[in-house]
Structure 1
């Protein structure tokens, strides 16, 4: 069993900034650690019948890959054609009621009052210390109706936090919270995703741009479709009633679409410069340190009416003590936990949080945290890989240019 003690992986000189509000070491369900019993999405039998290699992930049994198709081949197919991912392990929520917007704005730094209907935003659930409890997608359907997706591996923590906040009398009778257990969630990703989905709906997908969503019929089934995803490619995330999930998976997985698993999903999101909770962000990370300042609404930057505001606004005004950066690494790939040093190898700067040999770029890429001042583009550093210092350079993210459809 792999146990990631993410709160202990940073040396005290870097970790001081945001003390953790939980135990010093906790198991984050972000890797392939074993958890018992494992939950199953509505597509478990579908995966097995299609030759999936199932692994533990976030408390769920999820497909790593399918048949003889390797991770790199699957990754490349999504980049060139389209892949279908089961993301039904993610937690889908509905928040409704006259105070739903105010409730979510207390828990996050996002500007939801100004968000247009059927628009989505990445956001973060914040703790009083300014650390990130989880990252999430919030979609506004109306002033009093929000659809929220959170991470499977943070289900217990997130739901306990929502309940604790709702139990405050301030929200009595003003917010109704529903967890959409059993609902399917499919991610159709890749440059051919729109062409493929268009074959199964009468909705004009050219009018549905990145960051927007709608209800539509796909193969006769009423679903919620959001244009976006976790790969940097054009694509859609489709929320499906439980009784229709297998049906739509069968319809949408026909060639040229390939079923894709966790292996390809991880390498695609790293190339896209996206964070994985428990690796790249955690309870000791502020959104400013993580390079997520853009999720903090302009109208919230002078306000202290959200949880964790004191730390987050201080980081905005004065700069954070450390920053998430992208790196290219020479010689050998740097993985999670590898140490980053100044170019001369003397001063410790931080740690790698995610790293791979990039299938698209043909070079080693990584993300990690370095002390502020060493975060600028073109800064040369050294990364310790297998006991040897490797030359590395700070580079902009995303590593692979996003191809979102913006109309």
Structure 2
């Protein structure tokens, strides 16, 4: 049994009479005791609003909230805590960049470059920006295995490319894209790069300064933290030049009847009572991940992904999507003519939780020439025995739908 398994109380249960095997961490990860207890401690011991009060509970809550911001800064190696904006998640972070940075700056003749593999959260906001500004959407072509060819990237990105929005790791294919090299190409042409880090922050050691990205968005709930908390990293000079898109308490400096001024970074983008418990929980999640070691987590998750790829490849009738190498955290597949929802239902009867559907990537599904897939995704609390259970479950699924294989 994986030695970190014991830290996650939800995993110690049976589902449909079988020990739970949780293989849906790309959708949301489970939470260790340390995170649950940190959130509980806030609500039980020092629940208070932040920044506004000088009393003891308010001071303690503020220190914990801003302490988590500093933990995030160190975790992704940002230059300053001013570059760390707390949001509701990756989706909110990307929309903030779309509305506050892109909308006022783009126009006709400008280009926004994406890939067909983007999560809807990193696709629809740019569609809306293009419609509002007259900018043009362009797409980087995927290679046969879903990866990118840097030579093609160089051809597609031009001086007209004002913004490139791209996932670091695909939530469907598990592909790890060469963000540092792409960022260099983008900057050479004078554009900015926005990175969806929802699937990379849990698995990889992220250094935003080394990658030289302009914006980087990720969610707490996919990296052992609570739901409802996310982060937008932005280079300080870019954030300084942007206007807030939410207005109210917390984000103001001075208000009179007809004018108002904003607080300095990062608070000008955090209007209203912030997600205090979520931020504290995210800080605890970072503490936990760093106690394990991000290098160790990456090594484990890559190894487990390779193991799953090899095991599933040997099952007759299984089609696996995405590259064999340079992938992490997920293996997406279909079983002959059995609908992925049926596959997931049979696996659930065996106590195995996987995701089935289009994974918020309908354009990618069309590129794969399927309507949906099943996805097994892994994290530090999984091990080879979980993959072996998955293989046995798929064999049982084949038996259940045996007529398909005759």
**Could you tell me the TM-score, scaled by structure 1's length?**
0.29
**Could you tell me the TM-score, scaled by structure 2's length?**
0.29
**Structure of higher CA gyration radius:** 2
Q: Tell me which protein shows more strand as a share of its residues.
A: 1
Higher RCO by CA contacts (8 Å cutoff, separation 6 or greater):
2
